Amino acid sequence: MLILAVDTTTPGGSVALLEDELLLGEANVESAATHSARLFRSIDFLAGALGKDIKDVDAFAVAAGPGSFTGIRIGIGAVKSLAFASGKPAVPVSTLLALASKLGSDRTPLVCPLLDAKKGEIYAGLFEAKGGGLVEVVPQGAYDPEAFFARLPAARGIAFAGSGITAYRAGILSHIGDQAFFPGRSPFIAAEVGRIGAGLLRAGQGVDAASLEPLYFRRSQAEETCRT
């Protein structure tokens, strides 16, 4: 099963092509250009480099959030259009789970993906690597940083990943000190989105274009404005 995976939820966008869980190639872009300006060019470049055609794709996986509201809408909209045009299934994948999967292993069993949600909040969760997968220990959500960090176990090492580390490193260290680890990992997650998506598709969790929805943990600024 050839899977096209897309992430536009984080500043560094990426796309990947996978044969089931096997990564064939990934295009990563850290650029001032918007996701909408570069997404389809990245897809065309990657497909061409691998000698593939978009018509060869059997299914789509997309990082559905949390993250930038604009970025989420761009990724979901693009995959919706591709899935609709091709009649192929798509599957939404949590950005936090994809980030966590970059780190989770027997050597780093506790993993905390962390995104800066702005407005003094973070998107975060705590996962534990078990049986070759990841289990939620602290549910994914939008949190007050201090309240979230207070829920982290102080006696076990935790590996952190994501854009929130820069803004909240001091807060992390104040709560768990030398139990916090910051492995150097690429911020690009399309490959992880594709691998997680492959498992979800095998489990029959793919949906049609009309049913593909974003994953938000709070209302957007526009929605907040409408409520006031």
Looking at the structure, do residues 65 and 133 belong to the same domain, yes or no? no
How crowded is the C-beta side of 32, counted as CA atoms within 13 Å? 0
Looking at the structure, do residues 150 and 203 belong to the same domain, yes or no? no
* Residue-wise pLDDT tens digits, 67-94: 989 999 999 999 999 999 999 999 999 9
Query: Residue 30 has which token pair?
Result: 């850290």
Looking at the structure, do residues 128 and 108 belong to the same domain, yes or no? yes
* Residue-wise pLDDT tens digits, 95-154: 999 999 988 666 768 999 999 998 899 999 999 988 888 999 999 999 999 999 999 998
What does pTM read for this prediction? 0.91
**Structural domain harbouring 200:** 2-94+187-227
Closest by Cα among 128, 125, 120, 126 to 168: 120
